[in-house]
Structure 1
């Protein structure tokens, strides 16, 4: 018998490399140009005394790193960012999971509700900050006066605590709509036969949620937590427009601190060293989160 007409000939190595170049080349090129090359330059400048203006500079070893470790303002902003990110990651994921769980049911105008919840993600970070600043200073204050709830009528940007929670509220509201889409896709991918079998066996809704739904959604949870951690820790634009670090730089995120050092103070090399340390910390946190949550993923 001759060869079947359905058998495809093996691709040559040259054809495989050509296909890889066509499909992966643009992504690799963009990743190299927009991430690897700037990262390499940042790492190089962190060992110099370049001020970002002069065309010449000299190498000074790890001096900038020692300066970073000795600067209390940098570590205060980093600690603020970590605390802020912790609450944003928890609240945004819980809120997104709840919305996705509700909208996974057959309810009226489900797609409209999804669109309305997702809308905040479309608004730019700077505009979002100014919009919410108006809400905090006017809408919340008036609502607090009408209801007598002092928590709403407080001056939101005069104390470190109120500025912190204002940022957490805004970022949670912004991020949860995007995460809801990912959780919604996870809910739709769960085989309904698991739910039906558990229902027939007499499992309650609570048992189904914690024993079947959440384990099946662990891959979505891993992705959502990774996205939330990175977006929260890299927050800059909303931080600028909402609090601008006030009062007295107590609500200044680490990205604001790095920017102020590099561009406002013309200490580009010092800012690069701060950025490298921050990147290392962010990678460690992200890797730890992915490692912990991915272990709980199950195959469907």
Structure 2
């Protein structure tokens, strides 16, 4: 039986969907299409753009700093994805056990995610420089210091968020399957690796996707913590694109071409990751 509310929704659904659809078109689709077009143009503003073909892409793909930033970002993303997901899952697994203060611990771990990235970058810059000052070093002294500084920052910020997703996944697991494994004589380690983790693959898929995309597109923390120093060697791709677009007159089109190349690479990596992890999902 269809209720009055159901009839109203069926009749006026388009009106309710229109604001969201319009926001998607205006805020994402139009800028994306325009950005792809501008990547084939030489311009300083949108109104004076003129097509130059593949010139921007040739310049972008020949930029050694761009490919250094891409390799640096790839290594950064791999390290942070592994650390964040392993630690977040371990914390979530512990916090789903019955003991006092569980909610307090969850809140404490989640709180860093509420702080803006640019603020976190400057806070960690002060903290890390305070620690490294003992060896008369700065976080901007070498790309190695900058790399591990950014790893620590992003992990500290993201672990709590991923932990919440893993907690939700663990709490929704079918208890009868786990109890059956326990009755069959499986120990804690066997239950974790042979029962719980396979059933947690949907949550792992989501968290892995988020950490990979967050790692690749990180910008504000990189800007605040190292700003690419020394000599742009600690520069992630997003910062390299920004510096190309806004820091070099006449290179706006090259920066836009880099952004398109970057989008394609991240999209392909995300799709491959999603396919690989989704294929390992099992039904309870």
TM-score (norm 2): 0.93
Q: Distance in 1 between matches of 2:15 and 2:191?
A: 46
Counterpart of 2:201 in structure 1 is: 218
Counterpart of 1:296 in structure 2 is: 280
* 2:235 matches 1:235: no
State which structure, 1 or 2, has the greater radius of gyration over its C-alpha atoms. 1
The Cα of 1:16 is off from its aligned counterpart by 3.9
Counterpart of 2:13 in structure 1 is: 19
Q: Gaps spanning 5+ residues in structure 2: where?
A: none
The Cα of 1:155 is off from its aligned counterpart by 4.0
The Cα of 1:26 is off from its aligned counterpart by 3.2
TM-score (norm 1): 0.88
Q: Distance in 1 between matches of 2:274 and 2:101?
A: 35
Structure 1 residues 47, 174: closer, same or farther in 2, change over 3 A? same
Counterpart of 1:269 in structure 2 is: 253
Over aligned residues, Cα RMSD in angstroms? Answer: 2.2
Q: Distance in 1 between matches of 2:23 and 2:50?
A: 30
The Cα of 1:15 is off from its aligned counterpart by 6.8
Q: Distance in 1 between matches of 2:241 and 2:132?
A: 33
Counterpart of 1:88 in structure 2 is: 80
* 2:30 matches 1:37: yes
1:182-219 CA distances to partner (integer Å, 9 max, x unpaired)?
Answer: 00000000011112111111110000001111011000
Instruction: Tell me, yes or no, if the aligned pair for 2:132 and 2:139 is still in contact at 8 Å.
Output: no
Counterpart of 1:4 in structure 2 is: none
Q: Aligned pairs, how many?
A: 282
Instruction: Tell me, yes or no, if the aligned pair for 2:38 and 2:49 is still in contact at 8 Å.
Output: no
Q: Gaps spanning 5+ residues in structure 1: where?
A: 1-6
Counterpart of 2:170 in structure 1 is: 187
Q: Distance in 2 between matches of 1:274 and 1:13?
A: 49
- The counterpart of 1:156, out of the listed 139, 144, 148, is 139
